[in-house]
Structure 1
Amino acid sequence: MKLQFKYAFLSLCLTGAIFACKDDKDTDVTPVDEKKDSIVNEYVTIKVSGVVEVNSLPVPTASTLDYNLFSFAKMGLVGAGEDSINTASWDLAFQGSGLSMAPNWGGTAPNYWDGVDKFAMNASDVKVVGYEDTTFDNITAAPAESEFIHTVGMDVSQPVFNTETGDLMYFNFPKTTVFIFRLNDGRYVKFQYVSIYKGAPETPTVAIHQNDFGYWTFKYFISAKGSTDLTTK
């Protein structure tokens, strides 16, 4: 009996030791930190995927003939008017309220190439290609260089009019239009204009157009240097 008890006691000790080791191993596992979105400021968020979301950025007070200039790298406006236009510090210009856009491929104005500014090292050479009937995430790579062009402007807004009076009611922005920019340093930017209304409502109304017009919402993704990869999903 003593011998049997001895073996039983030893078996019980070994069993306890195994469970003790298992518990120690479990508690030694270091939890993996979950990646989180990065909030840049009240208007800009960098998603885990690397997509930069600009939400309800107020349109600065400006003439309809003036340009508000945006830098993808700086994730914000970098100026307005001729003093800022004559540089390569910006990538995309929003004219007036921002329904019309133009890439920086000149130096003295967003909508034409200026050889003098290029010679003065102030010029930019941002090219663009647009896609319709697709989605932001569906575009996973930049196209061939031959597809990019210098363009005088872009406008994806779709005005909706009252069928009886002919008055403008509001603007829609198709989710199936996406632009790809080629920047000066060779990187690519996937860009989608989402809304001109505060809060980016899914379905605008006349009241929203009257009260909440003048807030940019758009998103973009910048490729790594030397890469054409634009995967965001």
Structure 2
Amino acid sequence: MTKNILAVAFLAVAFASCSNDDDITPAEPLLTETVSNLYAPQTGGQGEPVGGEFTKFDFETGAETTSDTDWDIAFRGTTIAVNGGVATGTTDEPTRNGDVSAAIVTGTFTSVTSAADLTFSQDSETSFAIPTGSDNGWYNYNSESFTVTAIPGKVFVFKTTEGNYAKVEFISYYQDAPAVPDPFADATPYYTFNYVYNQNEGDTSLE
């Protein structure tokens, strides 16, 4: 009788151990990707009113999207919108229906290892979360060489529509990302950027 009781107790413990093991979900790996030649044209410019549809990008799928809801950031010319906050009043900007936010960090891409303790903001009636204009956000415009270049030492961290985190470094505004762009020969606006995306909701690690 004692042997039977011990055997039942052992099986119960073993089963409980296996059940707990099965409940542990392994963390998804971080995704490190490069997006090349994401085309984000605008109409107007050169003194004319700027317009045109924004090109939307979704970190979860790692691709451009036409979805009205499943997008994180959107591009048009040198302007970048996030799917969070409210309309800024810019012509043809996308409707925000998510809770995406952005933080701008000074440092190298590899040195930004976490989204914890960062200050995030969203698009507002007065400005985009990533400010527009030369030297204000992600780029510099050189009036002597007529080139648009990414500002070194700036990394952009996003909290996405899924509640995940991604970091981005912008590489080029020119098609095929030439090392020395020729503004009269190299087509724009074609974004190239690197990003790391953490697939685990709420996990702030970016390395």
Give the gaps of 5 or more residues in structure 2. Answer: 1-28, 44-49, 90-94, 131-136
Note if contact 1:159-1:169 (Cα within 8 Å) is conserved in structure 2.
yes
1:220 aligned onto 2:199: no
Number of equivalenced pairs: 155
Q: TM-score, normalised by structure 1?
A: 0.59
Identity within the alignment, %: 25
| SS at 1:130 equivalent | strand
Find the counterpart in structure 1 of residue 4 from structure 2: none
How do 1:184-223 and structure 2 match up within 5 A?
Answer: 184-204=161-181, 208-214=182-188, 215-223=190-198
Structure 1 residue 90: Cα displacement: 0.9
**Match of residue 82 from structure 2:** 103
Task: Quote the Cα distance in structure 2 between the aligned partners of 1:61 and 1:127.
Answer: 23
Q: Pairwise CA RMSD of aligned residues? A: 2.5
Taking structure 1 as reference, are residues 70 and 228 closer, same or farther at Cα in structure 2, changes over 3 Å only?
same
Q: Which amino acid aligns with 2:141?
A: P
Give 3-state SS (helix, strand or coil) of 1:129's partner: strand
Q: Match of 1:150, SS? A: coil
AA aligned to 1:54 is V
1:88 deviates by: 2.1
Residue deviations 1:127-153 (CA, integer Å, cap 9, x gap): 111012x111110111326x1111342
Secondary structure at 2:173's aligned position in 1?
strand
Task: Give unmatched runs, 5+ long, in structure 1.
Answer: 1-47, 113-117, 163-167
Q: Determine which structure has the larger helix proportion and give its number.
A: 1
Deviation at 1:225, TM superposition (A): 2.2
- Is the Cα contact below 8 Å between 2:158 and 2:166 reproduced in 1? yes
* Residue matched to 2:138: 156
**SS of the residue aligned with 1:149?**
coil
Between the aligned partners of 1:94 and 1:171, the Cα distance in structure 2 is 15
1:129 aligns with 2:103: yes
Greater C-alpha radius of gyration = 1
Closer/same/farther in 2, CA of residues 219 and 150 from structure 1, 3 Å limit: same
Q: Identify which of 119, 138, 141 aligns with 2:111.
A: 138
Q: Does 1:76 align with 2:63?
A: yes
Residue 49 of structure 1 and its aligned partner are, at CA, apart by 6.8
